């Protein structure tokens, strides 16, 4: 969930990751802004100030918002974002690492509330 005064998540996705602790990381990009699809249609035309110059540096490089990389709203007012998938082939105990970060643009961010992380089994059909 985000607070009413949340900012810093507009236009730019964040990187999320799940995998073995200290393993090879393969992050995917997701949008945490509930209006990401609308905002991406409005290409920024100018930059003001030191910090906002970098805000759109990767505008053409990052993926556009889609059903796969945007938040999904729930009935209880919260939203959820898929971090990724992990399959434990051997069935041995594995320590997993999960992360969410955005360090490429460097703008301040505020207003993100994380209630919890839910790990769900995936239906695998042979």
List the chain domain ranges.
Answer: 2-112
3-state secondary structure of 57: coil
pTM to 2 decimal places? 0.69
E strand spans, the chain? 2-7, 14-20, 28-30, 72-73, 79-80, 96-101, 110-112
Q: Is 106 left (phi over 0), alpha (psi -120 to 50) or beta?
A: left
pLDDT per residue rounded down to tens, the chain (126 residues): 888 888 888 778 888 888 888 766 678 888 887 777 666 555 555 454 444 444 445 555 667 777 777 788 889 888 888 888 888 887 788 888 888 888 777 778 889 888 888 888 877 765
Pairing outcome for strands 14-20 and 28-30: antiparallel
CA distance 37 to 33: 9
């Amino acid at each position: 969930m985000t607070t009413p005064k949340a900012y810093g998540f507009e236009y730019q996705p964040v990187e999320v990751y799940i995998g073995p602790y200290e393993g090879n990381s393969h992050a995917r990009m997701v949008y945490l802004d509930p209006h990401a699809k609308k905002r991406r249609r409005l290409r920024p035309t100018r930059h003001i100030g030191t910090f906002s110059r970098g805000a759109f540096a990767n505008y053409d490089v990052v993926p556009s918002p889609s059903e796969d990389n945007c938040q999904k709203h729930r009935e209880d007012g919260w939203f959820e974002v898929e971090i990724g998938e992990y399959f434990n082939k051997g069935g041995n105990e594995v320590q997993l690492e999960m992360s969410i970060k955005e360090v490429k643009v460097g703008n301040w961010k505020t207003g993100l509330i994380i209630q919890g992380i839910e790990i769900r089994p995936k239906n695998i059909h042979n």
